[in-house]
């Protein structure tokens, strides 16, 4: 939706795509976000955007970027934690001799 404090000539095509991208970003549907921005690129090639509409779109783009940044940080943190757990596991496994990773698979020794 357009920011409440700005009167914006809300056009069907670009506003729909931008709102859809924002909603998809809120749900973490990054493929859909990317598809919306690809469609927006095509729309921009063939249409004029008023300064009011451009400001509203920029505000929503900023909101999408914020969600991307949060998701990026969360993925980075999860990967960091996974690496640390993997290192700890390898240390424990190496010390006990119970598990030997071979070719990315676990082989349990009997």
pLDDT along the chain (110 residues), means of 10: 47 84 93 95 87 91 94 91 87 69 55
3, 56 contact by CB (below 8 A): yes
Task: Give the N- to C-terminal CA distance of the chain in Å, as an integer.
Answer: 62
Is 7 contained in some domain?
no
Q: Is residue 1 part of a domain?
A: no
pLDDT for 9 equals 47
Is residue 2 one of the residues assigned to a domain? no
Structure confidence at residue 98 (pLDDT) = 61
pLDDT of 105 reads 60
Rounded distance between C-alpha atoms, residue 88 and residue 27, angstroms:
33
The answer as to whether 50 is a domain residue is: yes
Q: Which domain holds residue 83?
A: 12-108
Between CA 40 and CA 29 the distance in angstroms is: 17
- Tell me, yes or no, whether 57 lies in a domain: yes
Please give the tally of structural domains in the chain: 1
Residue 5 lies in a domain: no
Give the separation between CA 102 and CA 14, rounded to whole angstroms: 52
In a domain, residue 92? The reply is yes
- Can you give the pLDDT at residue 23? 94
pLDDT of res. 110: 46
Nearest to 64 by CA among 32, 23, 35, 31: 23
């Amino acid at each position: 939706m357009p920011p409440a404090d700005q009167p914006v000539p809300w056009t069907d095509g670009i506003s729909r795509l931008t709102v859809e991208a924002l909603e998809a970003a809120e749900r973490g549907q990054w493929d859909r976000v990317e598809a919306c921005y690809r469609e927006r690129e095509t729309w921009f090639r063939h249409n004029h955007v008023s300064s009011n509409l451009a400001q509203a779109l920029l505000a929503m783009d900023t909101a999408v970027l914020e969600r991307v940044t949060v998701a990026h940080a969360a993925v980075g943190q999860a990967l960091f934690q996974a690496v640390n757990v993997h290192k700890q596991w390898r240390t424990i496994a190496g010390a006990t001799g119970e598990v030997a990773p071979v070719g990315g698979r676990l082989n349990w020794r009997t």
